[in-house]
Chain A
Amino acid sequence: MNRILAIASLQIRAAIRSKLFVSLMVILVLVVFGFPMTVKGDGTLAGQIKVILYYTLGLTSIILGITTLWVSSGTIAQEIESRQIHLIAVKPVHYFEIWLGKWFGLLTINAALLCFAGLIILALVHWNVKAGGKNNQERRIVKEQLLAGRRLIHPRDTLQQEVFTRYHNMLSNGMMSPELSRDEAFSEIKKQLLAEKTVIGPSSVKKWILEIPSFCSGKGYEIEKFELKVRFSPVRKGDNPVFGEWRIGTERNFILFKMTTDNNLDGMHQITIPLTQSVMDTVMVQSGEAGNHSNRKMILEYRNGDGEKSRTVVFDRERGIELFIRESGFESNLVRSLLVILCRLALLAALGLTASVLFSFPVATFSAFSVILVSIVTHYFVVMMATDIGSCCEAHSQKSSDHSFWQVTSEKTAKKLDTIFEPVMRLKAVEPFSDGVLVPWEDVGEAVFTMAIIYPGLLGIGGLLLFRRRELALPYT
């Protein structure tokens, strides 16, 4: 342990003495203070704060990410090249101790810099809220909706299951055309179902079920912590306004909310549906009274107006219905976001170190960056493929059948590869944080587990197996 700490503190000292630490601090200050001033929000205080949160935290994580990858992929490789490793390797030090020591060192540096960035962000936001904002109302909204950690609840997604049942129904009813392969049939059914789920024509009705998580205590809930938002866009036919009626509550007890949009506006509409005390009472207390608190549900129903007065609307698949429940304050959400970012940096450090064990300096850096690039591109490719199937509800393409061999294999490889990257890519910090959405402790735990333990562990073990076979007195292998 002493040896690991010695190497870690050497790494930290190197960062400080080489002025890397100070220059990063200066860059962070410039970015965190400077950048938001050049970007204008939508003119409101909320818009401004959102921009500040997104860019400061986002840029901080990008800057530290690149630096970490750069520094870590250089360390061991450069010590081998400059032969400083000769004096370490002849001491009673295991190779894993060198690796771990460097890793802990980098982690500590990053933690310190993230703390620093966090403090600046806090100060900046505090100052902006105080100085900006035309009235108290605006400030209150910012505090409640942005400077908070609100848990985001989406309607239960049963798509996969429904695809499955429908497929088997059609199969047993003999309605399935025999030319379709199973995969093709699945994607066809999926498209159909998605259309049914998101597109609501005049006079149709659609129901969503929102499950209230068990941590919201039944009787003591605070109504101002809840907010229900819906997002939809009218289909571009006719010039009626969208007109319809929402029912919110339980099966028995609900309120009605009549909705009319401005005449013939196109594009995305976002509406906050008011939640009344009595409805929330039934949702929070009565529905859970059976003793089963984990079972509380809020039922949401939209009945579109008839064709004369209204028109077809499409609900955003991802963000159509959102229920926010404020769960934590701004500061603790910031801390959790920073922890997730720190875990990501830990993974980058591990990747860089392993690269630096295998290759000499510029090659190591280059290969580490390539891995990151490939993972990002692959992930977005896979995400795009997934949404591609979802979004084309009308344009019924015949292309699906004449996929070339290469296309199929590349898609398959990408999917296989993405199973490695997905657990890491899934954990987000900057996006939810800047939207005032909760970064839950579960995510932090998962980040620590995957990005700071499992993946670095695998990378480290892989690197060390090869490191041990390396002759350290040979600069290149």
Chain B
Amino acid sequence: MDEQKENDVIVEVHNLVKVFKDFWQRPKVRAVDGLDLEIRRGEIFGLLGPNGSGKSTTIKILLGLLHATSGNVLVFNRSPRDVEIKARIGYLPEESYLYNYLSPCETLNFYGRLFDLKNSVRKERIWQLLEMTGLTHAANRSVGEFSKGMARRVGLAQALINDPELVILDEPTSGLDPVGCRQVKDLMLTLAKRGKTIILSSHLLADVEDVCDRIAILYNGSIKALGSVNQLLEKQESVRFTMPSLSPDVMKKVLELIREKIGKEPEVDHPSMNLEQFFLEVVEKAHKATSQQSGVAPTERMADYLLIKDK
């Protein structure tokens, strides 16, 4: 039982502190200040917080790119600087740090080789990922000419090439169009269903709300709130119905009943389609009308290998 639990804790952070120092070792910024976290297998965990609250710093410590000033960090029960565990992690950095002279295809091939993936596996995954991110038609252009969002997609594909158990996404939706955002969210849900663990950081609340199982809200390097989204957002004292429009007299009757019961005037409005839905529809229509693509092709496809259930 104990072992089972051990196995299920993917990331364990205890009292983590990171102080950035200047050249003379004088402390400059206390970016992370006494952080405690425990992330379990199959969870989508959101790190939320305003700019500069220490999200990226925490993530970089989990990846071994920064060293903790004090505190304990375990990833897969090992030190984050252990090379062995890196094969099980996928990482999308806050910006796309890609090689401008490579094409998406070459980029993915390069990172695939760093994971020592077999040739055939690599080839197959590259094409599936390019298709998933809608970059098939741009597979041989160089990343340097890409727009920010397109480069971001290459970055995302790169993070998934090793079919990682733990995916760490630093502001995954920044720079992406709404189609891309939706896709990334779907992707996270799919991966989580397969038992993968996902950590994402964001300052966009919509991202987090839709997908995260649990979130931590960071401010100034320490956690101000931690728990599941429902838990944190639930307002016990109000209720909302959504239904087809009612005829005026039915409506009148319903309102009267409510007024009588609670002794207060209820709020009534017509829900409008939100902009996200509207945008998705327009793009979908336009895509169906054209065949030539210069930007990103919207697609619903998921890379097949990411869908295979673990045995």
The answer, among B63, B98, B116, for a CB contact under 8 Å with A90, is B63
- For this complex, 10 residue pairs linking A to B, each with C-beta atoms less than 8 Å apart, are A13-B101, A13-B106, A86-B91, A90-B63, A90-B91, A91-B87, A91-B111, A91-B115, A93-B114, A473-B60
B98 surroundings in chain A (CB, below 8 A): 84, 87
Min CB distance B85 to A, Å, is 8
Residue of A nearest to B80 (CB): A90
Within 8 A of A (CB), among B67-89: 67, 83-84, 86-87, 89
Residue of A nearest to B116 (CB): A2
Q: A5-B113, A92-B116 are in contact. List 6 more A-B contacts (CB 8 A).
A: A10-B102, A87-B97, A90-B89, A92-B114, A471-B67, A474-B20
B91 touches A18 (CB 8 A): no
Per-residue B-contact encoding for A91-102, CB less than 8 Å = 1, 0 else: 111100000000
A92 touches B102 (CB 8 A): no
A3 at the interface (CB under 8 A from B): yes
B106 surroundings in chain A (CB, below 8 A): 13
B23 surroundings in chain A (CB, below 8 A): 476
> What is the bound-complex CA distance between A90 and B59, given in angstroms?
11
> What is the bound-complex CA distance between A472 and B86, given in angstroms?
15
A389 at the interface (CB under 8 A from B): no
The answer, among B60, B64, B101, for a CB contact under 8 Å with A18, is B101
Per-residue A-contact encoding for B146-161, CB less than 8 Å = 1, 0 else: 0000000000001000
Min CB distance B70 to A, Å, is 15
A17 at the interface (CB under 8 A from B): yes
Min CB distance A168 to B, Å, is 59
Within 8 A of B (CB), among A208-234: none
Min CB distance B106 to A, Å, is 8
B116 surroundings in chain A (CB, below 8 A): 2-3, 92
A82 at the interface (CB under 8 A from B): yes
B93 at the interface (CB under 8 A from A): yes
> What is the bound-complex CA distance between A90 and B111, given in angstroms?
10
A473 touches B158 (CB 8 A): no
B305 surroundings in chain A (CB, below 8 A): none
Min CB distance B169 to A, Å, is 13
> What is the bound-complex CA distance between A156 and B9, given in angstroms?
75
The answer, among A10, A87, A94, for a CB contact under 8 Å with B83, is A94
| Known contacts A86-B97, A473-B60; A6/B113 CB under 8 A | yes
A6 touches B114 (CB 8 A): yes
> What is the bound-complex CA distance between A17 and B100, given in angstroms?
10
Min CB distance B137 to A, Å, is 21
A83 surroundings in chain B (CB, below 8 A): 93, 95, 97
B110 surroundings in chain A (CB, below 8 A): 6, 10
Residues of B within 8 A of A (CB-CB), count: 30
A91 touches B86 (CB 8 A): yes
B65 surroundings in chain A (CB, below 8 A): 86, 89-90, 471-473
Nearest 9 Cβ contacts at the A-B interface: A6-B113, A17-B101, A473-B65, A91-B114, A92-B86, A92-B87, A83-B97, A90-B91, A84-B97
Residue of A nearest to B92 (CB): A87
Residue of A nearest to B84 (CB): A92
B279 at the interface (CB under 8 A from A): no
> What is the bound-complex CA distance between A86 and B96, given in angstroms?
10
> What is the bound-complex CA distance between A83 and B155, given in angstroms?
13
> What is the bound-complex CA distance between A83 and B63, given in angstroms?
14
> What is the bound-complex CA distance between A18 and B110, given in angstroms?
18
A39 surroundings in chain B (CB, below 8 A): none
Residue of B nearest to A16 (CB): B101
> What is the bound-complex CA distance between A471 and B69, given in angstroms?
12
Per-residue B-contact encoding for A444-477, CB less than 8 Å = 1, 0 else: 0000000000000000000000000001111010
The answer, among A5, A13, A82, for a CB contact under 8 Å with B102, is A13
A88 at the interface (CB under 8 A from B): yes
A14 at the interface (CB under 8 A from B): yes
> What is the bound-complex CA distance between A18 and B142, given in angstroms?
12
| Known contacts A83-B97, A84-B97, A90-B89; A2/B84 CB under 8 A | no
B89 surroundings in chain A (CB, below 8 A): 90
Min CB distance B226 to A, Å, is 25
The answer, among B66, B87, B114, for a CB contact under 8 Å with A471, is B66
A472 surroundings in chain B (CB, below 8 A): 65
B142 surroundings in chain A (CB, below 8 A): 17
Min CB distance B56 to A, Å, is 9
A87 touches B60 (CB 8 A): no
> What is the bound-complex CA distance between A187 and B65, given in angstroms?
58
A87 touches B111 (CB 8 A): yes
The answer, among A3, A17, A84, A471, for a CB contact under 8 Å with B113, is A3
A91 surroundings in chain B (CB, below 8 A): 86-87, 111, 114-115
Within 8 A of B (CB), among A1-31: 2-3, 5-7, 10, 13-14, 17-18
